[in-house]
Structure 1
Amino acid sequence: MHELIRDITLCILFAWMLGLLAHFSRQPLILAYLIAGFCIGPFGAGWVKSQESISVISELGLIFMLFMIGLEIDLKKIVRAGKVILFAAGGQLLGGCLLGGLFFIGIGLSLGGGHFDAVYLCVACALSSTVIIVKVLYEKRELDTLPGRITLGVLVLQDIFAILFLAVQPSLANLEIGVILISIGRVAVLVAAALLVSRYVLPRLFHQIARRPELILLGALAWCFLVAETAEQLSLSREMGALIAGVSLSTFPYALDVTAKVTTLRDFFITLFFVALGMTIPVPGLSVIGLALMIAAFTVVSRLVTTFAPLYLMKQGLRASLLPALNLAQISEFSLVVIQTGVSDHHIAAETANAASFAFVVLAVLSTFAMSRSDEITRWAIGPLKRIGLRDLDHGNGHAEEGHEGGHGEARRIVILGFFRAASALLAEIERQAPVLLEQITVIDFNPNVYQTLLSRGLHVIYGDISSADTLLHAGIGKSEMIILSVPDALLKGASNEKLVRHVRTLNPTAMIVATADLLSDVGELYEAGASYVTVTRLSDAHELFTVIEAAQAGLLADKRAELDQRLGERREVLP
């Protein structure tokens, strides 16, 4: 016991120190934890040698990690997932596993006889890192963009795929139809029982203790370990049970409260899991490094092929097809869980597992770098893709859809550069108050959903990147009377309002240019750049909030809400 406590102390201390270095160097924290484990483990300084300590720490980390992954799986969102996301996820998972099987068998990895290295690597390479992707997209403010939503939708369906594999995984050595059906049957029984209890029993209990936060936390943990131990008795695994426990609570009325209270504990044990995993990674030999690099290269290439192709076939355009492929081009932390279950069951060779862990580290670094520059990479790639014959949404239309007047380079009185929620609200307001004005408007954006929706409504729309000089020239910016920049700097890619104003003013010295300022200090800079008027959305928001306060004090809040509901019901916005 004293040795275990000492080992945990070393794990946390080194994880924190290397975590600080990773933070300041903008590298993934998971990478820091793996390196920390390697430094203090048997293959590093050798300060932690007890395999029992490593095993206990690792299993606790796995249980909490999968419990939290389950809590974050929103079944309702999966049901509501659009056909684009379903098609993209299906193509990526099935295509990735098929290509993976051919590739890994082709390089000599085993597929049977008690050794399933190729199978585990197929599954591992088909999963992408939720931790890395969400962190980078959040920092870039791209979670709510179309590529961001597609990426997150694919991640959720990857988790479901991993759950199905974990259900079958214990029976891989005796893989018969009957055995598979029995395993799936056990999972189905456990899931059904867990959902029923969490639906009809746990809410009443948690309602009674809702004012006792410590009992909420203890109840969630008790449920996690109860379902985990039940899964173990059903010849599944504790990790599988923890995942099911989390999924069952994700539909729970107190799910947000439970998640908030368990998050800190989760972070502690997830840290221990990755540190413990780092302890098991030896100094890689040439063979391990070679296999790891092949795994990493295959993951990137297969993700680009299997994610880009379905989205391109669904007519999402080159940019919206490339970005999710770049976002997903790494190996998941869930993949390491899958690999570790294979090691525990002696399904996969230690050398293969080490190569997979090393590939995870390589891709964690490269993927973070690539995602932070995904817009630059996408712009660079679109040209060569067009030259080899791939068509973008604007192909053959002269940057305007056939059947609509105003072809290549024709001037429109009003041009809206970039289309997000403010532009969507503006068009709805114009449609309500002055619909004849719609005939004088051109919208330029590279969101395929916006492009198709506006075309279907009869508006003049150009599919293109507003930071591209060619796009602006083809749009006839030089002959327009008013140019509106409604997208804030935080959401612009490859440009800013100030740079766009300067560029547009160069192309059109006489036009009225309306720009948007995120900060009050931006207003003066935008006027100096050549803007005719600058909107500051916080001012209109403040005015709206003040009228709400006035209505509440006068006892008229219900009337104001009814007025707002009526206004919302009359609008036909492109973006929700």
Structure 2
Amino acid sequence: METIAIYLVVVFGCGFVARLMHLPTLIGYLASGFILHAPGIEALPVVDSLADLGVTILLFTIGLKLDVRMLLRREVLATTAANLLAVAGLTAGFLGMLSIIGVRLLAGADWQVVALLGFALSFSSTVFVVQVLDVRSDSHTLYGRVAIGILVLQDVVAVAFLTAMTGAPPSPWALALPLLLPAVWLVRRAWSRLGHGELQALFGITMALVPGYWLFESVGIKGDFGAMVVGVLLASHPRAAELSRTLFGLRELLLVGFFVSIGLHVTPTPETLLLGLLLVVLLPLEAAVFTLVLAAFGLRKRTSILAGLALANFSEFGLIVTATGVDAGLLEQDWLVVVSVAVAASFVISTLVNHRGTRLVARLSSLVPTLRDERTHPEDAPLDIGHARVLVLG
């Protein structure tokens, strides 16, 4: 109980200090993980469990709000592909340059090591970006929907890669997963009779963890992805938005464990700390790739820049990919520390940038090419108000 008390005091204190400094509280939660780990305070396994549960509930609520048609749009598909290729290539090139100047961890590293690290750092954080969008209430804006679509496709790529790396293909029973479609009809009928209290919240958690996480894990597919799929299947129900709001507070509380857990598993040395911090120089390049590709598909400068800034960070999936590489003997253990530091630093920098995101748009607009009017995206075209003399917003 004493250890739990220490955790609560440190995590709350760091979050409160961040709030007093007018910074998002997640920066305080990240810092608390490092503070708790530094003196060797006993690690609590429950923190990792809460982190996993928080990510699962997060992906389930994303599914509840997701329009599948958005994933099939060319700007989402092309931007996801372009970013994975461009950022992986830029990261590999940057690491190759560091190996030339004599960085120890990169001494003698072959192309497979560099390519794997480039791939790991090419993903944006679903957890972080959704936090940014929720704070701004921008989840339903065009740039928010495009960003979430890109994140979902990245998650699909990551799940496919992790499945291939484990060498264990999904179970043949995975072919039976389409049977969820008729089962959803029965679930929707029951959902309509639940009312609006705690039973609906319990229903959401059950759907995320049982037919979502557990069922997909049991057939060899990542459970978090399964939770999102179940959320998508339920998204058309009239109470989907209400359920998402009901789970919001629980999700935010559980995600505290996710941010704390990042620092709890890292023991940085000066070399790994410096290398991890050096990797954040790639973030402006990542933001530029997102922005320019989206602008090329006709999105306005403002829309493209806001999406690019929100997506310019490293992902928790990068940690998972790196850990898989370590387990497979492709990477040294120190690389897990380097990537952990890079992910944590990217969250801090991206938080500070996105806190001023709307004010940065005007300054960055001059760097984005101007497209002809006929190429403007239909959903992002200027509104024609005709001969109206008064316009009421709100």
Whether TM-score is above 0.5 comes out as: yes
Shift of 1:424: 4.3
Is 1:47 aligned to 2:41, yes or no?
yes
Deviation track 1:511-568 (CA, whole Å, cap 9, x = no partner) reads xxxxxxxxxxxxxxxxxxxxxxxxxx58xx8xxxxxxxxxxxxxxxxxxxxxxxxxxx
Distance 1:300 1:21, change over 3 A: same
Q: Is the 8 A contact 2:54 2:254 kept in 1?
A: yes
**Residues 133, 219 of structure 1: alpha-carbon distance in 2 compared, 3 angstrom cutoff:** closer
Alignment of 1:298-377 (within 5 A): 298-304=282-288, 306-316=289-299, 321-333=304-316, 335-336=318-319, 349-374=332-357, 377=360
- Which residue does 1:427 correspond to in 2? 386
Does the aligned pair in 2 maintain the 1:11–1:275 contact within 8 Å? no
Distance 2:257 2:328 in 1: 21
The answer (yes or no) to whether the contact 1:34–1:277 under 8 Å persists in 2 is: yes
Q: Does residue 128 of structure 2 align to residue 135 of structure 1? A: no
Contact 1:288 1:355 survives alignment (8 Å): yes
Change in Cα spacing, 1:80 to 1:293, as seen in structure 2 (3 Å) is closer
Q: Is the 8 A contact 1:93 1:158 kept in 2?
A: no
Aligned residue pairs, count: 377
**Cross-structure match for 1:255:** 240
Is 2:132 the partner of 1:122? no
Pairing 1:58–2:80 present: no
Structure having the larger proportion of residues in strand = 1
Aligned 1:364-403 pairs, distance under 5 A: 364-374=347-357, 377-381=360-364, 385=367, 392-393=370-371
Structure 1 residue 19, shift from structure 2 partner? 0.8
Cα deviation, 1:310-350, whole Å, max 9, x if unaligned, reads 23433556665444333322224554565567667877544
> What does residue 260 of structure 2 align with?
275
Q: Is it true that 1:149 corresponds to 2:134 in the alignment? A: no
- Between the aligned partners of 2:54 and 2:139, the Cα distance in structure 1 is 25
Residue 89 of structure 1 contacts residue 154 of structure 1 at CA under 8 Å; is this kept in 2?
no
What is the distance in 2 between the residues matched to 1:150 and 1:236? 30
1:18 aligns with 2:2: no
Aligned position for 1:221: 205
Specify the SS of the correspondent of 1:201: helix
CA distance in 1, matches of 2:142, 2:255: 26
By how many angstroms is 1:366 displaced? 2.4
- Map residues 528-567 of structure 1 onto 2, 5 A cutoff: 537=392
Separation of aligned partners in 1, 2:21 and 2:166: 44
Counterpart residue type for residue 386 of structure 2 = L
What's the Cα RMSD here? 4.0
Aligned in 2, Cα 1:68/1:348: closer, same or farther, shift over 3 Å? farther
Amino acid aligned to 1:255: A
Matching residue's letter, 2:147:
V
What are the superposed Cα offsets for residues 411-469 of structure 1, whole Å, 9 maximum, x if unpaired? xxxxxxxxx99x94742648xxxxxxxxxxxxxxxxxxxxxxxxxxxxxxxxxxxxxxx
Give the letter aligned to residue 165 of structure 1. Answer: A
8 Å CA contact retained: 1:117, 1:352? no
> Is the 1:307–1:325 Cα contact (8 Å) retained in structure 2?
yes
Task: Look up the match of 1:158.
Answer: 151
What is the rounded CA distance, in whole Å, between the counterparts of 2:358 and 2:243 in structure 1?
37
- Measure the CA separation in 1 of the matches of 2:13 and 2:152: 31
With normalisation by structure 1, the TM-score equals: 0.55
- The question of whether the paired residues in 1 share the 8 Å contact of 2:48 and 2:258 is answered with yes
By how many angstroms is 1:169 displaced? Answer: 0.4
Letter in 2 for 1:131: F
Equivalent in the alignment of 1:515: none
Query: Do the aligned partners of residues 68 and 173 (structure 1) sit closer, same or farther apart at CA in structure 2, a change above 3 Å counting?
Result: closer
Q: Distance in 2 between matches of 1:248 and 1:341?
A: 30
1:82 to 1:235, Cα distance in 2 relative to 1, 3 A: closer
Any residues of structure 2 matched to 1:46-195 within 5 Å, and which? 46-49=40-43, 53-54=44-45, 56-73=46-63, 74-76=65-67, 78-79=69-70, 82-104=73-95, 107=99, 108=106, 118-119=115-116, 121-128=118-125, 131-132=128-129, 135=132, 139=136, 149-150=142-143, 152-174=145-167, 182-183=169-170, 189-190=176-177, 192-195=178-181
Q: How much has 1:75 moved relative to structure 2?
A: 4.1
Distance in 1, matches of 2:340 and 2:297, equals 34
Which residue matches 1:32?
28
Q: Which has the higher helix share?
A: 2
Quote the Cα distance in structure 2 between the aligned partners of 1:94 and 1:237.
Answer: 23
**Which residue of structure 1 lines up, in the alignment, with residue 186 of structure 2?**
201
Measured at CA, do residues 137 and 246 of structure 1 come closer, stay the same or move farther in structure 2, by a change above 3 Å? Answer: closer
CA distance in 1, matches of 2:153, 2:371: 32
1:355, distance to aligned residue in structure 2 (A): 1.9
Q: Which runs of 5+ in 1 are unaligned?
A: 395-400, 402-419, 431-483, 487-536, 542-576
What's the counterpart of residue 476 of structure 1? none
Deviation of the 1:172 alpha carbon? 0.7
Counterparts of 1:187 and 1:167 in 2: how far apart (Å)? 14
Hey, what's the Cα distance between the residues in 1 that align with 2:252 and 2:13? Answer: 16
SS of match in other structure, 2:30: helix
Q: 1:313 to 1:244 in 2, by over 3 A?
A: closer
Change (3 A) 1:426 1:368: same
TM-score in terms of structure 2 length: 0.77
Q: Say if 2:322 and 2:336, in contact at 8 Å, map to a contact too.
A: yes
**AA aligned opposite 2:276:** A
Whichever of the two has the greater Rg, that structure is: 1
Identity of aligned residues (%): 18
AA partner of residue 79 (structure 2) = A
